[in-house]
Every structure is written in C-alpha cells, then in structure tokens.
Amino acid sequence: QVQLVESGGGLVQPGGSLRLSCAASGSIGDFYTMAWYRQVPGKQRELVASITTSSSTNYADSVKGRFTISRDNPKNLLYQQMNSLKPEDTAVYYCNVNGRWPTQYESWGQGTQVTVSS
C-alpha cells in the first residue's frame, strides 16, 4: 500500500507563488509516474502535470510556463512550483502515483486547497 501526504496549499494573491509537496511512502516500487491533478466544483478532475521516473514531464496547456513539476527519487518526494498564479488556478490539488514496476497500482493523496484571490 502506498500512502501520499500533501502539503503547501493555501491562500495566495493573483500573481503570487506556491510550492506544493507530496511525500510517498510504502511499497512504491522502482518505476512509477507521479502527477498533480486538480478539481473545481462542477468540473471533472483534470491532469495538471506529470513526471516519469526518468523526469520526463508533461503539462496542461493552461499551466505551461507557470508551473514546474519535479521529483526527488531517493526521498520519494514530488513537488510543484506554481508561479504567476491566477484566480482560475483555484482548485483542490491532488497528488497521484501510478506504479508500473515491479507492481501496478494507483494511489491518491487527500487533496490540498489552493485559493488564488485578492
């Protein structure tokens, strides 16, 4: 079982920055993709950014150039630096781990609220 613990969410003014962190523990395995998702009321959960074991990244068009996803494999940590935040970024952000080898699994964090407002 893989457990994910998130931190770093909160209230920030438009144009400000936040850094989200996600700590993974348990039987994580050696090859797994980590990702950040977000969800707002009335909309489905959407993929914000993902990163593979070898640090290949993918971003949603809405956050390209503003968000940066990274991981620290020895420490099993996932980060997301969020700059130039907009009110439209307000959402609950979820950490996700998709295990591939030696076992396949999917794990989700509890979610952390990010609110961008003046």
| Tens-place pLDDT, residues 9-46 | 999 999 999 999 999 999 999 999 999 999 999 999 99
Phi, psi of 117 (to 5 degrees): -155, 150
User: Can you tell me the distance from the alpha carbon of 53 to that of 71, in angstroms, rounded to the nearest whole number?
Assistant: 8
| Tens-place pLDDT, residues 75-117 | 999 999 999 999 999 999 999 999 999 999 999 999 999 999 9
DSSP code of residue 51: E
Q: Please name the amino acid found at residue 25.
A: S
Across 47-70, b (16+ Cβ under 10 Å) vs e yields: ebbbbbeeeeeebeeebeeebbbe
**How much is the pLDDT for 99?**
96
User: Can you tell me the distance from the alpha carbon of 89 to that of 107, in angstroms, rounded to the nearest whole number?
Assistant: 23
Asked whether 116 and 13 are in contact (CB, 8 A), the reply is yes
User: Can you tell me the distance from the alpha carbon of 55 to that of 45, in angstroms, rounded to the nearest whole number?
Assistant: 23
Phi, psi of 21 (to 5 degrees): -130, 150
